[in-house]
Amino acid sequence: MRKNIVAGNWKMNLSENDAVELAKEVAEIKVENAEIIIFPPAIFIPTISKLGLKLKIGAQNFYPKDKGAFTGEISITQLKDAGVSYVLVGHSERRTILKEDNEFLKDKVNAALEHDVKVVFCCGEELTIREKGTENEFVKSQLVESVFHLNADQLKNVTIAYEPIWAIGTGLTASKEQAEAMHLFIRETIANHYNQEVANSVSILYGGSCNPSNAKELFACPNVDGGLIGGAALKSADFSSIASSF
Ligand code: 13P
């Protein structure tokens, strides 16, 4: 069956010393029923990786080409060399601020999987879309356009993170009913495109103001398999409490 995962997206935060300290503290978290992944700023990945800690390290971003004249960018192979086994693709901040569209995200998904790096694919609607009641169609189109070209075997290396944009960094969390409804919809959509067995094997994480006081009820939802945590991942005590919420 599918894995529970708790992942910390540190975004563009922390000094090197603070990042190293936090990584060491996160590696001490004892949970048996969930995998823990950290996504530090790229510049700290080699240092954290060399600590040899017992945790998975992911990259928040990369460029979907192996090498070449792409000033300022980092390739998947370079990140892999540095110790990365997961990447985030489709985070709403990269979609909105860095203008990454579904077509480009499809290239990123392909580049990561070609190099055996697992993908955490983020999807989620903004508030105006939820107010119109079209969030299901919107999220479905994100999956169809960037993920559903994969075959069932490739999809095994993809985790989905549903992150409603209106809940990211706002303190507003999706209710457990809203989260479960969307996660169930995503699983049904995967089942319709692939089959139920494939759908049952995909971990679907929730992200958006997840914290120690709401993690338990969110993770108790049958189709919520963990969380992608932003702000609360920057404090080891909070992240530990969330990771222990299954
Ligand atoms: P917050 O937990 O700070 O709302 O961020 C969620 C997120 O964007 C994780 O990728």
Per-residue pLDDT of the chain (246 residues; tens, 9 = 90+): 899 999 999 999 999 999 999 999 999 999 999 999 999 999 999 999 999 999 999 999 999 999 999 999 999 999 999 999 999 999 999 999 999 999 999 999 999 999 999 999 999 999 999 999 999 999 999 999 999 999 999 999 999 999 999 999 888 899 999 999 999 999 999 999 999 999 999 999 999 999 999 999 999 999 999 999 999 999 999 999 999 999
Give CA separation, 68 vs 65, 75, 87, in Å. 8, 9, 20
Give the length of the chain: 246
Which numbered atom of ligand 1 lies nearest the CA of 93? Answer: 8
The Å distance, Cα 69 to ligand 1 centre, comes to 32
What pLDDT, on a 0 to 100 scale, did the predictor assign at position 1? 82
Residue nearest to atom 2 of ligand 1 (CA): 230
Residue in 208, 196, 144 with CA at minimum distance from that of residue 170:
208
Which protein residue has the closest C-alpha to ligand 1 atom 5?
A: 230
- What are the tokens at 157? 């290396």
Task: Say if strands 86-89 and 56-59 run parallel, antiparallel, or are unpaired.
Answer: parallel
User: What is the pLDDT at residue 96?
Assistant: 97
Looking at residue 208, what is its pLDDT? 96
Amino acid at 116: D
Ligand 1 binding site (Cβ under 6 Å of any ligand atom): 9, 91, 163, 168-169, 207-210, 228-232
Q: Ligand 1, from 168, 205, 209, 242: best to mutate by most atoms within 8 Å of Cβ? A: 168
Let me know: does 239 contact 29? Beta carbons within 8 Å.
Answer: yes
What residue spans define the domains of the chain? 5-243
- Say what the alpha-carbon torsion angle 211, 217, 222, 224 is, to the nearest 10 degrees: -10
Q: What's the pLDDT at 171?
A: 84
Q: Say if CB 30 and CB 57 are below 8 A apart.
A: no
Question: CA 186 to CA 191: how far, in whole Å?
Answer: 9
- Ligand 1, pocket-test mutation among 228, 238, 245, most atoms within 8 A of CB: 228
Per CATH, domain 5-243 is 3.20.20.70: yes
What's the pTM value of the predicted model, to 2 decimals? 0.98
Give CA angle at 83 (230, 14), nearest 5°. Answer: 35
Quick one: pLDDT at residue 172?
86
